[in-house]
Amino acid sequence: MSEAKTDLRVLRTRKLIMDSFINLSGQKEFRDITVKDITEEAMINRATFYYHFEDIHDLLEKALSEVLLINLSADQFDGRTLDEQSITDMFLAITEFQQSLSNRCHRGYEETIARIIREQLETVIFQLLANGQEEKDFKEQGLKILSNMLAWGLYGASDQWKKYHFDEKPEGYIQSVIPYLVKLVKE
């Protein structure tokens, strides 16, 4: 099966299914979208859908994760440490992701979205923190806990921005707190 995943036809079909789902999510609530809707939109059969995804929840999770990964590209943070610019870049990535979702009906799966954002942030933050550590100072468990805390905090700030400050630029919204956050993390 690993060979099939690199087959361009398989990748195109998977993308077609995800694109069809995203298109439908702009027209219907998640709970109202069926596998039949997706297969008709993508012009595939049910077996093809189930070859790629376990069920519609698996599709939702993978589609959102892939879209967020594009916004929160690990390549963008490769070799960097946690500093003002990387915090700003992460915040911008997740607010752009949330803006793209705000154009679609996504009530009913906010918790899934929140979990995916936090998990992706935690991974990136852990790597940024680890890059800034000397080998002798590297305490993986402590960095994992700190990564988790910072991921929840950045997600919380983006959620507050989305709910109450959507008319303000995300850079301006987060800028006032970044120096304090960096100082706290460095100490």
What DSSP string describes 13-76?
A: HHHHHHHHHHHHHTTS-GGG--HHHHHHHHT--HHHHHHH-SSHHHHHHHHHHHHHHHHT-HHH
Q: What letter does residue 168 receive in the DSSP assignment?
A: S
pLDDT the model gives residue 52: 94
What digits encode the pLDDT tens for the residues 124-164?
A: 899 888 887 766 566 888 889 999 999 999 999 998 998 88
Query: Average pLDDT, stretch 4-24?
Result: 84
What digits encode the pLDDT tens for the residues 63-120?
A: 888 877 776 776 677 788 888 888 999 999 888 887 777 655 455 677 888 888 899 8
Distance, CA of 40 to CA of 46 (rounded, Å): 9
Give the model's confidence band at 55: pLDDT under 50 very low, under 70 low, under 90 confident, else very high: very high
